[in-house]
Chains A and B, each alone.
Chain A
Amino acid sequence: MPLEATPNEPTEHDRDAAVAFVVEAVAQLLDVDEDTLALDAPLEAIEGWDSVNQLRILVFLERELGASLDYDRFTAAETLGELASLVADTEAAGART
């Protein structure tokens, strides 16, 4: 882990923020308790997770980020942690000016 992240690499702080952001979005949309959402648990195991709600979460995250997420990476994500990485990378890429 480099001490100073390059401009297009998310920092540790960015990653933490992305985790909190994804957890809140999923908890809000599926109405589950945030404390029950483990980063490494399979998304499939979250109550209410189905293909329709998965798309709701995609649209919701994209609205909040103001940017499109990579669709292939999004559908391939199996855990909240992977979703958070995708969000962090997207934000960092967007911050490159």
Chain B
Amino acid sequence: MTGDALTELRALKRAGIADSAERVPGLLRSLDDALDREAAGMLLGGRAVRTALAATGRYTPVALGLLASSTVDPLPHLLTAALLAEGVQPETGTTGFNQWRFEILSGAPNLKELAPAVTACLLDDTAVFEKVADPLDAAEVEARCAALPTELDAWLTAFEGAPGGVAVLNTLPLSALRRDRYVDYATKARVEAAWHRMNAGILDLAGRPNVVVLATDGLAARAGSAAATDRMRHIAGHAWSQEFLDAYAREVTRVVLARLGRARKCLVLDLDHTLWGGIVGDDGIPALKIGGSFPGSAHAELQALAKDLSRQGVLLTVCSKNDDAVAREAVATHPDMVLGPDDFSAFRANWDPKPGNAASIAAELNIGTDSMVFVDDNPAERGLMEAQRPEVAVVALPDDPAGYASAVARAGLFNQFALTDEDRVRGSLYRARAQRDELRQTAVSVEDYLRELASEITVEEYGTLNGARITQLFGKTNQFNLTGIRYGADEVARRVETGQAAFFGVRATDAFGDNGLVGALALVRETGGPDGDGDWAIENFVLSCRVFSRSIEQAVVGLVLRAARDAGASGVRGRHVPTAKNGRFADFYPSLGFTGQDGDFRHDLTQLAELPDWVAIGTGEGKFHAP
């Protein structure tokens, strides 16, 4: 009958889901049929289950808006299934049938209170043809197609006012029944051309901040077809196929994860039968199949994809069952390797179980295992990783190597909003860090190491050049993120402009190179409270895990305290708001002489500790100041 996983989910629910909440994501991931996924979403979306799941503290809550120009009954349930599988629990708000335009243009009466972080507005060709009196009049269709992107642009401007957040739009497919209605080829081509220009105009809207535009044809290819079956179109009034809505829900899930700073950062690659054909330990280096004819071509294709991912900031690592020396020699010397030793930020070739190796790679790179994606041809290795490290995303590779690269690309696990220059050089930043680690092991004491490292930090005022990176740091930093507050690009710009907050970036260089912008800080003036007047407050401070434990965080706060004192403020406040990842830093402020409790701290400015003398302060453009 149905998938066993669905039956099991139902049994868990009946037994009280709170005790087995950790099993839910794995069960959801094993459902691959869109009807079963919808049923699972329904099962887990009821009020009592939602409350029970939320109470376990295992799920990040997120509010979502859902708008559409046609019936999308399955969508909220499919989104629930897709997001819970990733450890996120959505609360979705929606509006009446085909009210997508009115809802936003009338100030979002239904969504405003929910304050959705992401609102998906799924439009089909109804949005065009509902305003076309005569669909056979090609000139009228052309005019309507030309008008829609402009309408959507105005809609987005209203959207920024309320409800705000990220908007997800899509290109519109032209349904077969519309397209095939024209009998002469000239008109077919004319309407088709107008349609493509319209979709290009909609895609151009992705240039606005906080707007994502999904290309429907890509999702449709994944789903088989975008359009509902003719039967469902008539019976249920559906415009979209169940499979398309499922693919769309998974894509919106990637957008939500990017928005929550949960996009994955690291690719963990097996070698034998994955990056190359053959087993290097048995067959020898010359016999490995890379490039040339199939299957070597498929392994080279996967390597080329990994290379392109790394050029966009994804860290590449090796996790292989091999003798270290043999594996390294193959990577370094095989003439057809697309990837070379310098492309990998960490390398584990040994005979230990891979889940442990993944954890040790994560520790070495100072990232969480939940930001890793594991690629291995061996189903047993994949199963072991899923069982022991369920937070690692495991790509379900097909049996045939021909489909490896497509499967990794399609997973979209690294999707994010906008790349910065920082992302493009991340691999080399991490390799420089490996050299620092070597220095640390040879240095006599931590202090000696820090002196030899010769860190220098420069404070930068928020501006057009560093704005994207500052927003991204707030968005992507999870561990050293003291209050968990993330900011949209437009929000930062607006608050700076209106003088509500001042934003800064912190750049760090050291003996091994430039680390780029590694920290970001938001300062506001404290108002109210008994001794609140005249205090500055650090609304949030984030620091990249690449530069922990080098006294940079102390130096930054030390600079804020000094700037506040020089400006005549009476104190500086700082807060720690616990999130799933920032517990390590609960005592950060007290360790610097702040007093207070329950995460609410204050430092008066009568006595300031010395700045750590092994961190030099660059005399760049910036000095901290309140808005």
Contacts and interface: CB of A to CB of B under 8 A. Distances in A.
Interface of A: 21, 24-25, 28-29, 31, 52, 55-56, 58-60, 63-64, 68, 71
Interface stretch (B38-46, B130-138, B167-175, B301-309): B38-46
A60 B35 contact: yes
B433 interface: no
Contacts of B500: none
Contact of A31 (B13, B38, B232): B13
A55 B235 contact: yes
A28 B73 contact: no
B38 A28 contact: no
Given A28-B2, A31-B43, 13 more contacts: A21-B1, A24-B1, A25-B1, A28-B1, A28-B7, A28-B39, A29-B42, A31-B42, A52-B73, A55-B235, A59-B35, A64-B1, A68-B231
Contacts, number: 34
How many chain B residues sit at the interface, stated as a range, is 10 to 19
Contacts of A60: 35, 39
Interface string B1-31: 1100011001001000000000000000000
A interface, by DSSP: helix, strand, loop or mixed? helix
Contacts of B2: 25, 28, 64
B236 interface: yes
Contacts of A58: 235
A64 B232 CA distance: 16
Interface of B: 1-2, 6-7, 10, 13, 35, 38-39, 42-43, 46, 73, 231-232, 235-236, 242
A52 B74 CA distance: 9
Contacts of A55: 235-236
B242 to A, nearest CB: 7
Contacts of B7: 28
Contacts of B43: 31
A86 to B, nearest CB: 15
Contacts of A24: 1
A59 B242 CA distance: 10
Nearest to B33: A63
Which of A29, A55, A59, A60 has the largest number of chain B CB atoms within 10 A? A59
Contacts of A21: 1
Contacts of A29: 39, 42
Contacts of A64: 1-2
Contacts of A56: 38-39
Nearest 10 CB-CB pairings of A with B: A55-B236, A52-B73, A31-B43, A29-B39, A28-B2, A24-B1, A63-B35, A60-B35, A55-B235, A64-B1
